[in-house]
Structure 1
Amino acid sequence: MMLRILALAALCLGSTSAASLGVVYTEGGMVEGKSHSVGLFRDMDTFRGIPFAAPPGRFEKPKPHPGWDGVLKATEFRKRCLQLDFTETQTMGSEDCLYLNIWVPQGRKVSTGLPVMVFIYGGGFLVGSAHGANFLNNYLYDGQEIADRGNVIVVTFNYRVGTLGFLSSGDASGPGNYGLWDQHAAISWVHRNIKAFGGDPNNITIFGESAGAVSVNFQILSPHNKGLIRRAISQSGVALTPWAYNKNPRALAEKVATKVGCPTNESMMSCLRMTDPVALTMATPVALKGSPEDPLVFNLVLCPVVDGDFIPEEPSNLFANAADVDYIVGVNDCDGHIFTGFDVPSVNQPLHHTDPTVVKRLLISMTKEKGEEAAVLAYNVYTSTWGDNPKQETIKRTVVDIETDFLFLVPSQATLYLHTEHAKTGRTYSYVFSMPSRMPGYPSWMGADHADDLQYVFGKPFSTPLGYFPRHRDVSGYMIAYWTNFATSGDPNMGESSVPTHWPTFTNTTNQYLDINDKITKDSVKSNLRTRYVHFWTYTYASLPMVANPSTQ
């Protein structure tokens, strides 16, 4: 009798299991992914490796995919775009790399009209992939937790990086921004096809981190995306950051050409197009080293350019194009730490003394366009509370604050003001992520380092629970709730998920932001983020005359 009851229960459960898409018709042909259970009456349809464009021509914009016959089995991630590996001594990936991945949550009925979240990865425009770093089969950019918990469709995709993605001759022979065009092609594909997967093509949110966050900003500023993007989230990066775009791309292109044996005259791009792609990738100018006199940021020079097309003019002049886009912009409270590790290694070495003069030397380098007066003014601002005998922690934290402000926080604040100033229907939200870093060996005073937020946004404390504590699941739950509510409604407080406190909009008068960590309360809503330092960089420093040739970056 017990066996009969169990068999009947199993039969009933099987007959009321969650729905599945099965074969989906896209513009290129039929695709079939995999479906698996994620809970009672909840399944996840996953599609991996759908082509959104043809294999790209070298230093050319992406072209539509010609399509395929039969049913494409979309069950495996495809290779990343050709790039240097972590040793910088060889390459990995392929030129044939323009593929995307989709996660679709299902209930008892096939989903329809779901909000869509499209993720753009970071990696300094040099490296990265749609699936991210992985340990065994645990991929960083797995969209399952976001999709399941927020009832949204998640999309990730590859785009060209390094020399093949961002080299520019500075003229019409090689305008550059090929990686940004790939991103645009992926977003356009989603807009045209996502309805067949149960998504709402008129409710697409793009989100990204670091170079991906910069890319998000460029995508909503570009006139080529009009009507495609409803909302956007930039995590630790905007188009105004010092490393976001190169003002002198020709010099860099000539260095690459010389490395691979091409001329630097009018035949340069023709020669580069015929050069072996691995050789071109190996010629990618990477200098992951820094010092107070030569900060790492000034070595990150392979990136987007103002090309008169995708980015028609200076980014600060393009915010009218994002007037109807809801936009969240935020930073990690110690975002600059990743750079100080290269520029001032002693910051991470508790037994090593950090000389107070390093602050002045670093500021001289960062303000060289404005000369000695600028460095003096900056030094006075950052050391005003030091006293006569500052502690080592004070000096080291100041170094991290300087790079965080200069590279992330101040440009993000300027972006918030510009978006708010030009907004019509678009809403603006500001945040700081301050969950202390989990990296071993970091100073006890460390907050959230660059990229520390990614594990929480993608729900790793839930998918790999043994590696985290309950407090980590709390902050992950909060971020997924705010992010997916925002994707649903344009308001992070309104959607299917409850949130711990109301997150108000950012305005040019209230300057409110949300401090995100594992202890969010009404007191986590604050205003006037680092006002003194923002004012210095955006007004005092900006008003000083140039006294040297502008940086190439």
Structure 2
Amino acid sequence: MFTLRVATLAILAFATAPLARSQAPPSVHLDNATFIGNASGVVTQFLGIPFALPPVGDLRLRLPQPNAPYVGVFNASAFGPACIQQPAQVPLPAGLSPSTVQFFEGRSGDPPVVDSENCLTIHVLKPANATESAKLPVLVWIYGGGFETGAADFHTDGSVIVERSIQLGQPLVYVSLNYRLSALGFLGGVEAKKAGVGNLGLQDQRLALRWVQKYIHAFGGDPSKVTIWGESAGAISVALQLVTNGGNSEGLFRGAFMQSGSTQSIGPIADGQRYYDALVANVSCAAANDTLQCLREAPIDKLRTAINASPGMFAFQSMDLAWQPRVDGVFLTDDPQKLVLQDSVAKVPFVSGDCDDEGTLFSLTNANLTTDDEVRAYIASIYFQGAPSADIDAILALYPNDTTQGSPFDTGTLNAVTPQFKRLAALQGDYGFQAPRRFFLQQRTGKQPAFSFLNKRGKSMPDLGAFHSSDVGLIYGPSDMTDYLIRFAVHLDPNVGASADPSASLFWPPYTTASPQLLTFLDGAVPLNITLDTYRAEGMATLTRVSLANPWGAPPA
């Protein structure tokens, strides 16, 4: 196993005494407090600002509570700790190319993550010369990590985005936030439902967006011009923020940008009961009269050990996560895809796109499946529990054991790590990412402006191709993808202002059902093209139909 570690997060201790200053560092006034930040070239940073009361003690496993008005002087010069999370262990099966193994091993040198329960902090990066009256557009980043890992500064430098926005003459304010993860953020089971504490990580995000509305003007941002943006679990979070509350955005955002994540078909919070019961047992709370309160009172080290004993996002069950958003009756009143069908969607312009080979990374976890029968048993018990045999047959027929049709796509017989690897990668990538994206776009076009993209850059990566999350490095590069993001955040249209760009830019057509066009990012001499979102149409339609009837997250048979 290779352990994928989150980049080091500096520990921030909030000071209530004035800071010694040799040169006057940047500061901002919020309520009756002064926050002292960093000057970094053309960007000013204010980091680690608490947006909620620390979710510790009796506030553990409860809805986030807003801060009292700020008072005093705060050091806002470093990121705070990440939220408690599980190690993400990526298996490296035999048969991987040496360069792929080297790629993963090269990332294993990251220092261990520094995490804490006291982690609900927000970070604001702004043009250094932006005054309070600037009223700049605001871009809010929500990180990914399978709802079990991640942090606001995990391999993402928001200064890059702000600097590029200044270069384009379209300056904006960049915001990132931490939200609770794993069992502390996405507890399942009937006990969580009865207590109304499901989807706490999503509730954390919502509270952070309310903080932006209240305070972003002090940083030169316009609270009426907020775009929420995320990748993977962050993109799924963005999609769930769109469908919660009957589609009423409460004015918290006016646009959404989603990379590799959309509304997925997920089941009720009771489906997570087995993980709740195991957690309670491992913390020695099974005999307690109130097991949830016992979890609140348990030593954090003991609770962390119990969380780490649960399946992580690279466990054999792959994308069927132990800790994930579920229908709790509060934040999510129904299966998210059914909410889409009910028109419970915030009617804001949005972008939704994927990488070409979304499923390769997640198919390393089940590379020991080598026969047709094993693959059939796996998807029937993990993803489509309770589905009729005819539906399983239909899916397998549409995703055959043919390496030339598998993922990495368009690589012929290459990259067949195991006899079933490319088949599983195609099926899982479409199931988890491509099909939900297409469903959302098909349901929403004509109702709100929509754009979609496909990232095919990095196809030469052995075994993985243009794999899940490979576009994060592009957008934080920066690259032409960065420019489209910035223009969308500023204008709600990625084409507006393109003439001011020093580099060439291809017109990105809106997505419609009549003309489902994708801005496609490519390697080689022609970096951009327009393609049609019609590939694997029957396969994705079948996956959507079966998943709506059998939402994931249900206990295996």
Considering the TM-score relative to the shorter chain, is it more than 0.5? yes
Work out whether residues 91 and 281 of structure 1, in 8 Å CA contact, stay in contact via their aligned partners in 2.
no
Aligned to 1:253: 276
1:230 pairs with 2:234: no
Aligned to 1:192: 214
1:536 pairs with 2:542: yes
| Deviation per residue, 1:61-114 (Å, 9 max, x gap) | 1112234433322101111112234579x9941111111111102459777121
Aligned to 2:519: 514
Alpha-carbon distance in structure 1 between the residues aligned to 2:203 and 2:547: 32
Give the 3-state SS of the residue equivalent to 1:159 in structure 2. coil
Alpha-carbon distance in structure 2 between the residues aligned to 1:265 and 1:147: 51
Cα distance change on mapping 1:314 and 1:518 into 2, 3 Å = same
Structure 1: gaps spanning 5 or more residues:
1-19, 38-42, 133-139, 347-353, 460-475
Higher alpha-carbon deviation: 450-459 or 91-100: 91-100
Aligned to 2:356: 333
Give the 3-state SS of the residue equivalent to 1:450 in structure 2. coil
Alpha-carbon distance in structure 1 between the residues aligned to 2:287 and 2:444: 40
Work out whether residues 49 and 74 of structure 1, in 8 Å CA contact, stay in contact via their aligned partners in 2.
yes
Alpha-carbon distance in structure 2 between the residues aligned to 1:289 and 1:129: 16
Aligned to 2:347: 324
Displacement of 1:219: 1.2
Aligned to 2:393: 376
1:404 pairs with 2:426: no
Displacement of 1:272: 1.5
After TM superposition, the structure 1 = structure 2 runs for residues 77-156 of structure 1, keeping only pairs within 5 Å, are 77-85=79-87, 92-107=114-129, 112-132=134-154, 140-150=155-165, 151-156=171-176
Alpha-carbon distance in structure 2 between the residues aligned to 1:510 and 1:264: 59
Aligned to 1:314: 335
User: Percent same amino acid among aligned pairs?
Assistant: 28
After TM superposition, the structure 1 = structure 2 runs for residues 180-219 of structure 1, keeping only pairs within 5 Å, are 180-219=202-241
Candidates 438, 443, 448, aligned match of 1:413: 438
Q: TM-score normalised to the size of structure 1?
A: 0.79
Displacement of 1:504: 1.3
Aligned to 1:33: 37
Aligned to 1:5: none
Q: Which amino acid letter does the alignment assign opposite residue 167 of structure 1?
A: L
Alpha-carbon distance in structure 1 between the residues aligned to 2:511 and 2:25: 40
Give the 3-state SS of the residue equivalent to 1:270 in structure 2. helix
After TM superposition, the structure 1 = structure 2 runs for residues 345-364 of structure 1, keeping only pairs within 5 Å, are 360=376, 362-364=378-380
Cα distance change on mapping 1:409 and 1:203 into 2, 3 Å = same
Give the 3-state SS of the residue equivalent to 2:520 in structure 1. strand
Cα distance change on mapping 1:493 and 1:261 into 2, 3 Å = same
Alpha-carbon distance in structure 1 between the residues aligned to 2:70 and 2:129: 30
Aligned to 1:7: none
| Deviation per residue, 1:264-288 (Å, 9 max, x gap) | 7761212222112222222125324
1:453 pairs with 2:453: no
Aligned to 1:287: 311
Alpha-carbon distance in structure 1 between the residues aligned to 2:186 and 2:136: 34
Alpha-carbon distance in structure 1 between the residues aligned to 2:312 and 2:293: 29
| Deviation per residue, 1:195-239 (Å, 9 max, x gap) | 111111001111111111111111121217421111111211223
After TM superposition, the structure 1 = structure 2 runs for residues 8-47 of structure 1, keeping only pairs within 5 Å, are 22-27=26-31, 29-37=33-41, 43-47=42-46
Aligned to 2:483: 481
1:493 pairs with 2:489: no
Work out whether residues 148 and 323 of structure 2, in 8 Å CA contact, stay in contact via their aligned partners in 1.
yes
Work out whether residues 82 and 95 of structure 1, in 8 Å CA contact, stay in contact via their aligned partners in 2.
yes
Higher alpha-carbon deviation: 504-513 or 330-339: 504-513
Displacement of 1:167: 1.1
Work out whether residues 334 and 449 of structure 1, in 8 Å CA contact, stay in contact via their aligned partners in 2.
yes
Displacement of 1:408: 1.1
Work out whether residues 184 and 225 of structure 1, in 8 Å CA contact, stay in contact via their aligned partners in 2.
no
Work out whether residues 30 and 70 of structure 2, in 8 Å CA contact, stay in contact via their aligned partners in 1.
no
| Deviation per residue, 1:527-548 (Å, 9 max, x gap) | 4243232233234x469x87x9
Displacement of 1:341: 0.8
Candidates 323, 340, 349, aligned match of 1:302: 323
Displacement of 1:120: 0.7
Work out whether residues 104 and 153 of structure 1, in 8 Å CA contact, stay in contact via their aligned partners in 2.
yes
Give the 3-state SS of the residue equivalent to 1:322 in structure 2. coil
Work out whether residues 268 and 328 of structure 2, in 8 Å CA contact, stay in contact via their aligned partners in 1.
no
Q: Which amino acid letter does the alignment assign opposite residue 142 of structure 1?
A: D
After TM superposition, the structure 1 = structure 2 runs for residues 50-69 of structure 1, keeping only pairs within 5 Å, are 50-56=49-55, 57-69=59-71
Cα distance change on mapping 1:502 and 1:178 into 2, 3 Å = same
Q: Which amino acid letter does the alignment assign opposite residue 342 of structure 1?
A: T
Displacement of 1:21: 9.5
Alpha-carbon distance in structure 2 between the residues aligned to 1:78 and 1:304: 25
Alpha-carbon distance in structure 1 between the residues aligned to 2:194 and 2:54: 22
| Deviation per residue, 1:219-262 (Å, 9 max, x gap) | 121217421111111211223156x9755133321221111111
Aligned to 2:105: none
Larger CA Rg, structure 1 vs 2: 1
Aligned to 2:510: 505
Higher alpha-carbon deviation: 74-83 or 371-380: 371-380
Cα distance change on mapping 1:161 and 1:434 into 2, 3 Å = same
Work out whether residues 179 and 205 of structure 2, in 8 Å CA contact, stay in contact via their aligned partners in 1.
yes
Work out whether residues 137 and 225 of structure 2, in 8 Å CA contact, stay in contact via their aligned partners in 1.
yes
- Root-mean-square deviation over aligned CA pairs: 3.3
Aligned to 2:73: 71
Cα distance change on mapping 1:61 and 1:386 into 2, 3 Å = closer
Q: Which amino acid letter does the alignment assign opposite residue 490 of structure 1?
A: L
Q: Which amino acid letter does the alignment assign opposite residue 541 of structure 2?
A: H
Work out whether residues 369 and 550 of structure 1, in 8 Å CA contact, stay in contact via their aligned partners in 2.
no
Give the 3-state SS of the residue equivalent to 2:71 in structure 1. coil
Displacement of 1:549: 12
Alpha-carbon distance in structure 1 between the residues aligned to 2:489 and 2:365: 36
